[in-house]
């Protein structure tokens, strides 16, 4: 059990299961550019939710809103039912430790070696002895299939797949209750994509974490998803249309009658097909 | 089919001027909040010893060669430029006082600060900008740490604490350079050179330079870190952050030099009204 969990989380058997993260009518703008509009999305405890959609539809922004790395321009982002906007900065920082985040390009600290990267959150979050930190780092690296021998290597000396796994070990070091994966397989070869997909499933199996995966990769959708949500770019939405145009199982996504969902799931480009068709 | 309501851009000179002013006011507000955040972290947090020492090494030890070389040349240039005027008046031995006062009050601190802004400030802006672009700053926040405390505070402390040392180095080598050139190349009498220097250069002059340098160091670190933290995406954004950081730092150094000089000299005259003006 996580020693850092600030809240043990809801009992799945309890009649009122609180959603770990939910977005209610959320909007987000960057200057004059509207990326999210009226997005409502709930992540159920223990599930693996996969968010798909075209580039620029706001998938990564959605993840950053979930962990409060960005603030919503409108609407509410809730952690276990509580509006994040109502939390102080210190409370946000503390509660953010419930989340693990695998960044799209790994975001390993260039100036630190692998050991210091994985140990970073451990050193910052609580007083631990060096022996405790070392034990956790080695355990997490082994969990993602890496040998402790790479501890002294710098991120620049690692392959893309290894960097992803080190970043995953770093995210798991604090034993998060919710894992957020931003394009976990982008830029990886099919073999390494399979490895990362298996790791996502393993993490969920071993730790019962709630996971949100943002991806374009259909193999990842098939391998890890309990539920799929598809976002449509704001520029293509009708005035009152919700931004999450589909929510359902993987099978339902592949069988969807919505031409936009069908085009994405068949590997086509929805906009191109619409323009041509 | 676009349904996004985007206001139509306007291009009249009045709109442009208004937008510029609003941008400037917003930047000043952002910078002030950033500086307050840094000061808050200075009070509430303690930087990691290893990170602080590494930063101090880069800022201090790494800057010594360039400060020494430029300091020597500045001292010699002052001798070259001042010699003819003094020689014309038959007061060559007085050149030492002008060189040394100029160095300890103005050129030493400004030179050390300019070198720091160019060598260290731009590198800080580029490094933090790269960290911003590659989401490393977001990663620090995601791991429950405060990026300002982790990244800015050590850099601020290193610049703030070490720039007086660099200023002393610049002053010293500049004085030695000016003396060597004056006595060896221009044949000025060494004894009278130092005698006149001692009569003109006071402890307050040296203190003025060092007080200014502390403000310069703080300004350089804040400006560089602010531009790194607010870097735009891509290689162009990082390059721009480094360039803008140096330009703004240099302007800040000169502006601070003027206002602090005015303030310190006024204070000096108020404290010692019987003494001649330092201006």
Cα distance between residue A40 and residue A23, in whole Å: 5
Which residues in chain B touch residue A5, judged by CB atoms under 8 angstroms apart? none
On average, the pLDDT of chain A sits at 85
Nearest to A96 among B7, B131, B142 (CB): B142
Residue B100, pLDDT score: 92
Q: Inter-axis angle of helices A160-172 and A114-125, to 10 degrees?
A: 20
Interchain CB contact of B142 with A (< 8 Å): yes
Residue B252 lies in a domain: yes
pLDDT at position B92: 84
Classify residue B123: in a domain, yes or no.
yes
Is the CB of residue A204 less than 8 Å from the CB of residue A48? yes
Q: Which two tokens stand for residue A48?
A: 């693996």
pLDDT for position A207: 77
Query: Of A69, A99, A235, which has the smallest distance from its Cβ to B2's Cβ?
Result: A235
DSSP conformational letter for B8? P
Q: Chain B contact for A96, CB < 8 A? A: yes
What sign does the CA torsion over A56, A60, A63, A67 have?
negative
Segments forming the whole domain that contains residue B260:
48-271
Is residue A90 within a helix (H) or strand (E), and if so which, with residue range?
Answer: helix A89-95
Residues A72-126: tens digit of each pLDDT: 999 999 998 889 888 888 888 888 889 999 999 899 999 899 999 999 999 887 7
Any domain includes B220: yes
**Contact flag A107-B134 (C-beta cutoff 8 Å):** yes
Secondary structure (H, E, C), B82-141: HHHHHHHHCCHHHHHHHHHHHHHHHHHHHHHHHHHHHHHHHHHHHHHHHHHHCCHHHHHH
- Phi, psi torsion values for B6, nearest 5 degrees: -115, 125
Residue burial B70-85, b: 16+ Cβ < 10 Å; e: rest: bbbebbbbbbeebbee
> At residue A16, does pLDDT exceed 70?
no
Q: Which of A58, A66, A120 to mutate to test the interface with B (most CBs of B within 10 A)?
A: A120
Q: Do B136 and A34 touch (CB under 8 A)?
A: no
Which of the four pLDDT bands, split at 50, 70 and 90, describes residue A163? very high
CA A140 remoteness from chain centre: 18
Average pLDDT, integer, range A41-58: 91
At residue A275, the pLDDT reads 47
CA B248 to the chain's CA centroid: 10
Alpha helices in chain B, H assignment, sequence order: 13-44, 49-59, 64-89, 95-102, 108-116, 122-133, 136-142, 147, 153-180, 190-200, 203-229, 234-271
Asked if B145 and A120 come within 8 Å (Cβ–Cβ), the reply is yes
Query: Which residue of B lies nearest to A67 if distances are taken between CA atoms?
Result: B142
> Cα separations (Å) of A248 from A2, A266, B277?
30, 16, 82
pTM over 0.90: no
Question: Does residue B26 belong to the interface with chain A, where contact is any CB pair within 8 Å?
Answer: no
Contact at CB, A237 and B3, closer than 8 angstroms: yes
Q: Does B3 touch chain A (CB under 8 A)?
A: yes
B241 Cα to chain A: minimum distance (Å): 19
User: What pLDDT score does B2 carry?
Assistant: 43
Backbone dihedral angles phi then psi of residue A7, each to the nearest 5 degrees: -135, 125
pLDDT at B9: 60
At the top level of CATH, the class of A37-108+177-276 is alpha beta
CA of A94, closest CA in chain B: separation in Å? Answer: 6
User: What residue spans define the domains of chain A?
Assistant: 37-108+177-276
Count of A-B CB contacts under 8 Å: 67
pLDDT at B50: 82
Whether the per-residue pLDDT at A176 is higher than 60: the answer is yes
Quick check: is B59 in a domain?
A: yes
Contact A96 B141 (CB under 8 A): yes
Nearest Cα residue to A58 out of A79, A45, A75? A75
Counted domains in chain B: 1
Residue A236 has pLDDT above 70, yes or no: yes
Tell me if chain B has a CB within 8 Å of the CB of A69.
yes
pLDDT at B7: 56
Q: Are A253 and A243 in contact (CB under 8 A)?
A: no
Question: Which residue ranges in chain B fall short of pLDDT 70?
Answer: 1-10, 275-279
Q: Which whole number is the average pLDDT over A248-261?
A: 88
Q: What is the pLDDT of residues A136-152, one digit of tens each?
A: 999 999 988 888 889 99
ipTM given for this complex: 0.85
Distance CA B5, CA B11 (A): 19
């Amino acid at each position: 059990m996580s020693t850092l969990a600030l809240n043990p989380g809801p009992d799945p058997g309890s009649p009122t299961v609180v959603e770990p993260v939910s977005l209610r009518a959320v909007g987000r703008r960057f200057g004059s550019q509207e990326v999210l509009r009226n997005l409502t999305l709930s992540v159920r405890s223990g599930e693996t939710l996969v968010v798909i959609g075209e580039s620029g539809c706001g998938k990564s922004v959605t993840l950053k809103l979930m962990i409060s790395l960005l603030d919503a321009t409108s609407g509410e982002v809730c952690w276990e039912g509580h509006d994040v906007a109502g939390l102080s900065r210190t409370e946000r920082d503390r509660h953010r430790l419930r989340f693990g985040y695998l960044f799209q390009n790994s975001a390993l600290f260039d100036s630190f070696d692998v050991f210091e990267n994985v140990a970073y959150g451990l050193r910052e979050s609580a007083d631990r002895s060096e022996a405790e930190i070392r034990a956790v780092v080695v355990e997490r690296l082994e969990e993602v299939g890496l040998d402790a021998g790479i501890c002294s290597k710098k991120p620049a000396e690692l392959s893309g797949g290894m960097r992803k796994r080190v970043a995953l070990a770093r995210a798991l070091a604090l034993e998060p209750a919710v894992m957020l994966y931003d394009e976990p397989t982008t830029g990886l070869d099919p073999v390494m994509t399979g490895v990362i997909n298996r790791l996502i499933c393993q993490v969920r199996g071993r730790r019962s974490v709630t996971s949100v995966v943002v991806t374009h990769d259909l193999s990842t959708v098939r391998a890890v998803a309990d539920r799929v949500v598809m976002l449509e770019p704001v520029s293509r939405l009708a005035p009152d249309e919700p931004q999450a145009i589909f929510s359902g199982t993987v099978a339902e996504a592949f069988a969807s009658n919505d031409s936009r969902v069908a085009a994405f799931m068949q590997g086509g480009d929805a906009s191109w097909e619409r323009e041509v068709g | 089919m676009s349904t996004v309501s985007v206001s139509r851009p306007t291009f009249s000179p009045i709109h442009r001027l208004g937008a510029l002013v609003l941008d400037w006011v917003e930047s000043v507000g952002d910078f002030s909040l950033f500086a307050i955040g840094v000061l808050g972290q200075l009070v509430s947090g303690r930087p990691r010893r290893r990170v602080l020492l590494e930063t101090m090494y880069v800022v201090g030890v790494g800057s010594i060669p360039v400060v020494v070389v430029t300091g020597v040349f500045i001292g010699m240039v002052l001798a070259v430029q001042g010699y003819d005027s003094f020689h014309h008046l038959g007061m060559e031995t007085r050149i030492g006082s002008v060189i040394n006062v100029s160095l300890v009050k103005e050129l030493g601190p400004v030179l050390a600060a300019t070198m720091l802004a160019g060598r260290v400030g731009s590198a800080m802006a580029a490094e933090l900008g790269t960290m911003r672009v590659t989401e490393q700053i977001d990663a620090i926040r995601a791991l429950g740490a405060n990026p300002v405390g982790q990244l800015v505070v050590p850099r601020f402390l290193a610049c703030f604490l070490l720039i007086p040392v660099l200023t002393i180095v610049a002053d010293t080598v500049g004085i030695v350079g000016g003396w060597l050139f004056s006595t060896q190349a221009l044949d000025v009498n060494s004894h009278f050179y130092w005698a006149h220097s001692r009569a003109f250069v006071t402890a307050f002059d040296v203190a003025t330079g060092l007080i200014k340098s502390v403000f310069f160091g703080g300004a350089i670190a804040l400006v560089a870190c602010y531009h790194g933290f607010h870097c735009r995406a891509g290689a162009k954004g990082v390059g721009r952050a480094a360039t803008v950081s140096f330009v703004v730092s240099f302007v800040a150094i000169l502006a601070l030099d003027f206002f602090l000089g005015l303030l310190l000299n006024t204070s000096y005259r108020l404290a010692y009204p019987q003494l001649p003006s330092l201006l």
